Amino acid sequence: MRLKTFSADTMNEAMALVKEHFGEDAIIVSTQSGEDGIGVRITAAIDQIEDEFEYEEDHYDEAYDDPVEIITDALLNNGVPPQISDELISAAEELSMDDPILALAGALDRYFAFTPMPLGTADKPILLVGMPGAGKTVTIAKLATRIVMQKQAVRVITTDTVRAGGFAQLEAFTKILKLNLISAGTPGELRAAVAGAEGRGHILIDCPGGNPFDNDDIDRQARLIKAVDADVVLVMAGGIDPMEAAEIAGIYRELGARRLLLTRLDMTRRFGSYLSAAALTGLQMTDVGIGPSVADGLRPMNPVTLARLLLPKSVVESFDDEQQTARGAYG
């Protein structure tokens, strides 16, 4: 087995380098952002023993010979709206790759924006918004835990002062991390809380959940969002109706959201809503919640990981020598 890491500005360019050096038989071992979050780094492998590759090739179903057909079926099974599927299929056809994982990943990279949560700097507060029960409070706890584990300072602010148990739930997490939870129930209190926390590390803000189809709820969230200059992240649970997800994402996009964080990945089997929400609004795909664990319950999303999630497990295992598939790693 020969390993090599390829660096490029985009996922498509990096995969082209992999194909150029290792050919169609290359196996993607890992993907990650380049230095300082710029560009893409792909570690690929090639099995230099001819017989072993032919043995692996015999194990996938002949019905899956055409990668475009595999991708088409996968997008249909995930409930991806036709207008998005057509774009992805067309992009995959242009890439002309035998591996459906690489072909779909390249198409996704062309169609969507993938950006990790900006926790490397404390330039702006991170403010989470979304519907009730989407997982905002737990996500705040996960982000705070990640920052603390990196031995960096963080201030946590909650504006959820009305919901029964809202403050207490987050306070329980912050106490474990030995952090003081700051309460700010109004836009003015939020401005003051952020001003008092500036220059003292990262700032995480938990907004109360609201009904995006209720004008009063939306106005309440809009006032909080406009009160501070923050990086607004929409938190959305997986598995909802694709068109409704896009409509909800569009509403929050107008309120200032620029990133989309998917939760409950461990309980989601169809990702049409995720693609629909991002594609029809231009929201950037960021981290995903993979389970209840606060210490390691968030992972970054990238084109290869998303491709593996969309494709059937049997196909992924056939085209990837790694025993750990995306569903296993995120389950």
- Residues 6 or more apart from 255 whose CB is under 8 A from it? 129, 218, 221, 222, 225, 232
Report d(CA 189, CA 195) in Å as an integer: 10
244 shares its domain with 265: yes
Q: Which residues pair with 126 in a beta bridge?
A: 204, 231
Q: Which two tokens stand for residue 311?
A: 């494709």
What crossing angle do the helices spanning 100-111 and 67-77 adopt, rounded to 10°?
Answer: 60
* 3-state SS assignment for residue 3: strand
Give me the mean pLDDT over the 100-121 stretch: 90
Q: Which residues pair with 203 in a beta bridge?
A: 155
Name the least confident of 46-50, 183-187, 192-196, 213-217: 46-50
Q: Indicate the pLDDT class of residue 1, thresholds 50, 70 and 90.
A: very low
185 shares its domain with 109: no
Q: Indicate the pLDDT class of residue 323, thresholds 50, 70 and 90.
A: very low
User: In this structure, is residue 55 part of a structural domain?
Assistant: yes
pLDDT digits (tens, 9 = 90+) for 286-299: 999 998 888 888 99
Burial 249-287 (b: 16+ CB within 10 A, else e): bbbbbebbbbbbbbbbbbebebbbbbbbbbbbbebbbbb
11 shares its domain with 155: no
Cα-based torsion angle of the residue sequence 68, 74, 79, 81 in order, rounded to the nearest 10 degrees? -10
User: In this structure, is residue 120 part of a structural domain?
Assistant: no
User: In this structure, is residue 203 part of a structural domain?
Assistant: yes
99 shares its domain with 24: yes
Tell me the C-alpha to C-alpha distance, in Å, between residue 46 and each of 97, 109, 319: 16, 23, 12
Give me the mean pLDDT over the 275-284 stretch: 97
The DSSP secondary structure of 157-192, one letter per residue, reads EE---SSTTHHHHHHHHHHHTT-PEEE--SHHHHHH
Output the pLDDT for position 60: 41
242 shares its domain with 154: yes
Instruction: Give pTM, 2 decimals.
Output: 0.77
Give me the mean pLDDT over the 31-43 stretch: 71
User: In this structure, is residue 164 part of a structural domain?
Assistant: yes
Residue with the two structure tokens 């079926």: 73
User: In this structure, is residue 284 part of a structural domain?
Assistant: yes
User: In this structure, is residue 65 part of a structural domain?
Assistant: yes
pLDDT digits (tens, 9 = 90+) for 7-24: 888 888 888 888 887 777
Q: Which residues pair with 298 in a beta bridge?
A: 289
Q: Indicate the pLDDT class of residue 331, thresholds 50, 70 and 90.
A: very low
With a cut of 70, say whether residue 197 has pLDDT above it: yes
324 shares its domain with 267: no
144 shares its domain with 32: no
Q: Residue 151: is it exposed, middle or buried by C-beta count within 10 angstroms (0-12/13-18/19+)?
A: exposed
- 141 and 269 in contact (C-beta within 8 Å)? no
286 shares its domain with 314: no
Q: What is the CATH number of the domain that holds 178?
A: 3.40.50.300
Domain extent for 97: 2-114+309-329
> Which amino acid appears at position 186 of this protein?
T
User: In this structure, is residue 228 part of a structural domain?
Assistant: yes
282 shares its domain with 322: no
Report d(CA 197, CA 203) in Å as an integer: 7
Q: What percent of the chain has pLDDT over 90?
A: 63
Q: Indicate the pLDDT class of residue 36, thresholds 50, 70 and 90.
A: low
User: In this structure, is residue 121 part of a structural domain?
Assistant: no
Q: Which residues pair with 181 in a beta bridge?
A: 156
100 shares its domain with 193: no
Name the least confident of 5-14, 32-41, 219-228: 32-41
Output the pLDDT for position 164: 59
User: Of residues 141 and 41, which shows the higher confidence score?
Assistant: 141
- 331 and 266 in contact (C-beta within 8 Å)? yes
User: Of residues 119 and 263, which shows the higher confidence score?
Assistant: 263
What is the total count of domains within the chain?
2
Give me the mean pLDDT over the 42-64 stretch: 46
Report d(CA 306, CA 191) in Å as an integer: 37
286 shares its domain with 315: no
Name the least confident of 39-48, 240-249, 258-267: 39-48
User: Of residues 31 and 127, which shows the higher confidence score?
Assistant: 127
263 shares its domain with 130: yes
Q: Indicate the pLDDT class of residue 253, thresholds 50, 70 and 90.
A: very high
